[in-house]
Amino acid sequence: MNSPWYKVSHKATEDPRFRWCSPKAQTLFFHLCRLRNRSNGHKWIQYNDERLAYESGLSARSVMRARNELEMSGFIKYQTTKNHKACRYLVIDDPERNAVPINVTYPQTDATEE
């Protein structure tokens, strides 16, 4: 019987950049963590994009956008295979070391005093 629980790195989920990721990127991250835990200790997992979209509840286009967002934030690495039917994914437990520096614009609050 499969356990309903799976391991997720707290370093990743407590990282402020994770909170700035879109909900679709967060959904994909958790789904990739679940797949990694079922991979019998393999660091890289290979998965078909259409199946990943179906199982995560996202569209194929949303999976591509979320994947790019997670890679830019340093939470995953991915490689396309030669036949382009599947991708290899590496979920990163310590995203601080792998983040791509980008200029982040934080939302401005209107702090007018009365």
| Residues 36-54 pLDDT 10s | 888 887 889 998 888 999 9
Q: Which candidate, 65, 76, 78, 77, places its Cα nearest to that of 23? A: 65
Q: Would you place residue 92 in the very low, low, confident or very high pLDDT band (cuts 50, 70, 90)?
A: confident
- Its pTM stands at 0.76
**Of all residues in the chain, what percent carry a pLDDT higher than 90?**
38
CA distance linking residue 71 with residue 12, whole number of Å: 13
Res. 98: pLDDT tops 60: no
Task: Output 40 or 111, whichever has higher pLDDT.
Answer: 40
We find that the CATH architecture of domain 10-91 is Orthogonal Bundle (1.10)
For 55-75, the DSSP string reads HHT--HHHHHHHHHHHHHHTS
d(CA 5, CA 24): 20
Roughly how many angstroms between the first and final C-alpha of the chain, as a whole number?
Answer: 61
Looking at residue 83, what DSSP letter applies?
T
